[in-house]
Amino acid sequence: MKHFVIVAILVVLCTFLVYYGLVSLGLLPQQASLQAVSIDKLFNVHLWLISFLFSLIVGILIYSLVVFRRRKGETGDGVYIEGNTRLEVLWTLIPLGAVIFLAYIGAMSLAEVQRIDPSAMVVKVIGGQWFWKFQYPDYGFSSDKLYLPVNRQVDLQMTSQDVIHSFWVPEFRVKQDLVPGRTTDLRITPTRIGQYKVSCAELCGASHAYMEGAVNIVSQEDFDKWVTEQKSAAPVDPVLRGQQLAQQYGCANCHSTDGSAKNGPTWKGIADSTVPLSDGSSVIADNTYLTTSIVNPNFQIVSGFPANVMPSFANTLDQTEVEALVAYIQSLK
């Protein structure tokens, strides 16, 4: 019995030392969202369990090595012990109970993270190789920076225009994949004013490491001021706006504006011209054709160019942005 008492005391002391040692390392960044609170509670439970299990194993091991070591002059074998039904039942039931407990608190944390606020602000997030774009449908503009008011839930409705990306701000704790052709949701309630960074947490190509974006959590007053500035800064000329969009989305990588050959048809002089299609027919490149080519590029394939190369921008651009891009293409006579 003496050995059990001593080992129990050592395990308890070691557990506290290991736990506070881990906490002092600052393993987690600061909390900046309401969702981070419940997630950090779950992390805290895991840290206690890790500390206890480490102390239980290492404590018993070291104690046994010291106390029950072979001493000078001893030549006999140790006591042979064969099985212990009670111990085997305990080390089966206790881990089972621990797993059920962790599943329960994990489910409670997930429910808390996914709790919906009816007054949540909607922001549409578009990920691409290798950029982030944030649309504010309630205000009618988009930005390459994410601005959010503090203490107000936001519903991030996310999609990708090419490959799978993953939205992750470490201070918010939660992350969510962006899947081409689908819309996924992530709900965040920022609680700390400051500047943060969104990174892509899914390997998405050669420049994956540089796919970062600014996240600014501000007061409601500063957010309203920023919205006003964004509305007033938006270019009135649709051609200029279309040119900015073309630069933002890298359209020049596949479409030239001077008639030179690239992976896609040149934009120079294409407006109102006759475009031969891969099925042998032809079409006039009017407003409808140009719009369709942006939102559904595989509907009519230009002769000499392969299908399934250009991604659809139906979920990436809103109607005014598509119209601006068409206006820019029509201006390239």
Structure tokens at 319: 């109607």
* Superfamily name with CATH number, domain 121-233: Cupredoxins -  blue copper proteins (2.60.40.420)
pLDDT in tens, 189-206: 999 999 999 999 999 888
* Overall CATH class of domain 238-331: mainly alpha
State the DSSP code for 170.
G
Statement: residue 81 has pLDDT above 90: no
Under the banding of pLDDT at 50, 70 and 90, the label for residue 234 is: low
Which residue ranges make up each domain of the chain? 2-64+87-113, 121-233, 238-331
Statement: residue 78 has pLDDT above 80: no
Nearest to 304 by CA among 247, 252, 266: 266
Q: For residue 237, give Cα distances in angstroms to 43, 300, 317.
A: 51, 29, 17
Q: Report the C-alpha gap between 108 and 97 in whole angstroms.
A: 17
Q: Do 135 and 315 touch, CB atoms closer than 8 A?
A: no
Statement: residue 148 has pLDDT above 90: yes
pLDDT for the residue 252? 82
Number of Cβ atoms within 10 Å of the Cβ of 242: 24
pLDDT in tens, 258-276: 888 888 888 988 888 888 8
State the DSSP code for 258.
S
pLDDT in tens, 105-125: 999 888 888 888 888 899 999
pLDDT in tens, 204-213: 888 899 999 9
Parallel, antiparallel, or unpaired: how do β-strands 154-160 and 121-128 relate? parallel
Comparing 244 with 123, the larger pLDDT belongs to 123
Across the chain, what does the average pLDDT equal? 88
Under the banding of pLDDT at 50, 70 and 90, the label for residue 45 is: very high
Under the banding of pLDDT at 50, 70 and 90, the label for residue 147 is: very high
Q: Report the C-alpha gap between 134 and 143 in whole angstroms.
A: 5
Q: Report the C-alpha gap between 207 and 197 in whole angstroms.
A: 17
Parallel, antiparallel, or unpaired: how do β-strands 212-218 and 194-200 relate? antiparallel
pLDDT for the residue 235? 62
What DSSP line would sit under 274-291, residue for residue?
Answer: EEEBTTS-EEE--HHHHH
pLDDT for the residue 83? 79
| Average pLDDT over every residue of 222-239 | 82
Comparing 55 with 333, the larger pLDDT belongs to 55
pLDDT for the residue 333? 81
Among 4-8, 146-150, 190-194, 246-250, whose mean pLDDT is lowest? 246-250
pLDDT for the residue 177? 94
| Average pLDDT over every residue of 157-186 | 91
pTM of the model as a whole: 0.69
DSSP-assigned beta bridge partners for residue 179: none
Under the banding of pLDDT at 50, 70 and 90, the label for residue 247 is: confident
Report the length, in residues, of the chain: 333
Q: Do 163 and 180 touch, CB atoms closer than 8 A?
A: yes
Statement: residue 140 has pLDDT above 80: no
Q: For residue 326, give Cα distances in angstroms to 234, 256, 320, 329.
A: 17, 15, 10, 5
Nearest to 265 by CA among 311, 257, 299: 257
